[in-house]
Amino acid sequence: MEQSISPSLLLQESSAEIGVPLNTEQVHQFMVYLEQLQLWNQSFNLTRITLNDEIIIKHFVDSLAALQADDVKVGARFLDVGTGAGFPGIPLKLARLDINMTLVEPVVKKVSFLRFIIGLLRLENIDIFDGTLEKFMNERMPDGSFDYLATRALKHGLILKDGQKLLRQGGKAILFSSQPIPLSDFSSNWSLLREHTFQLQNGYGQRVISIVMPSV
C-alpha cells in the first residue's frame, strides 16, 4: 500500500483489509478525529505518534482489530482503561455506535481532549472517568458491569490483578501487545481464550490481541 494515498483512503482500505469495513460517514468522523488529534498534539503532546499514516495504522486500525478478535455482541459494555487520546475506545465506538463505552484516563490534558472530541463527534453512550483504574473501582465499584475490559497502554498485570471484579458473567479482557503474552503471566484467575495475530499495514509490525476471561 503506497503511503502517498490520502488519509481517508488509507483508513478505508486498511480497515477493510483487517475485516472491519467503514462507511463514508464513519471515515469522515475518523478524519475529524485525526485532524483534532493533530491540532491538540501540537500543544499537549497527546501521542508520540505524529504522522498521519502512523496514527491511522498504529492507533485507528490497531484499535479496530479488536472487533475481529472477538464477536462483540450488540450493545456490549466496554471499559477502556488508560485510554490516553481515546484508544481503543473511540475508534471502536465510531465503528460500532451500539457499543456502550466508558473511558478511564488520569491525565487531565487527555481528559480535556476526550471531552472535546466526544462532543465534536456527537457520540452518545460514552462516558469518561478522570482518574486511575484503582480510583474508578474505589469510587464507582461497578461490580459485574462490563462485557469487556480493554487496554492498549497499561501493563497487563494491572488489569488482570482485579479486573475480573468489573466483568459480567462471561465477560472478557482484551489485551493488546506486540508479542504473545506468556502463559506464565496469567494467574489462576484467568484463562486465555484465543490470540488474534496480524500484521499492521505499511510494515509497522506484528500485533497480538489476547482475549482472556476469568476462570470459573
pLDDT tens per residue, range 5-52: 999 999 999 999 999 999 999 999 999 999 999 999 999 989 999 999
Which CA distances in Å does 139 have to 45, 135, 142? 29, 6, 9
Separation between Cα atoms, residue 179 and residue 168, nearest integer Å: 28
Q: Say if CB 136 and CB 129 are below 8 A apart.
A: yes
Question: What's CA 3's distance to the chain center, in Å?
Answer: 24
Joined grid coordinates for residue 214: 476469568
CA atoms within 13 A on the CB side of 183: 4
| Of the candidate ranges 77-86, 95-104, 110-119, 149-158, the one whose mean pLDDT is the lowest | 149-158
Residue-wise burial string across 11-23, b where 16 or more C-beta atoms lie within 10 A, e elsewhere: bbebbeebebebe
Separation between Cα atoms, residue 115 and residue 76, nearest integer Å: 22
What lies within 8 Å, CB to CB, of 174 at 6+ separation is 66, 69, 70, 88, 148, 149, 150, 151, 209, 210, 211
Provide the whole-model pTM.
0.94
Nearest to 102 by CA among 64, 140, 74, 158: 140
- Predicted local confidence at residue 142, as pLDDT: 63
**Mean pLDDT computed over 70-96:** 97
- Predicted local confidence at residue 2, as pLDDT: 45
- In this structure, how many other beta carbons lie within 10 angstroms of the beta carbon of residue 42? 9
| pLDDT one-digit tens code per residue, 115-135 | 999 999 999 999 999 999 989
| CATH numbers and ranges of domains, the chain | 7-214 (3.40.50.150)
Q: Which residue has the cell 484516563?
A: 105
Separation between Cα atoms, residue 8 and residue 142, nearest integer Å: 38
**Mean pLDDT computed over 105-124:** 97
Across all residues in the chain, what is the average pLDDT? 93
Residue bearing the bigger pLDDT, 184 or 79: 79
Question: What's CA 172's distance to the chain center, in Å?
Answer: 14
Joined grid coordinates for residue 141: 465499584
| Of the candidate ranges 33-37, 157-161, 171-175, 202-206, the one whose mean pLDDT is the lowest | 157-161
What lies within 8 Å, CB to CB, of 53 at 6+ separation is 3, 7, 10, 202
1 — pLDDT class (breaks 50, 70, 90):
very low
- Predicted local confidence at residue 141, as pLDDT: 65
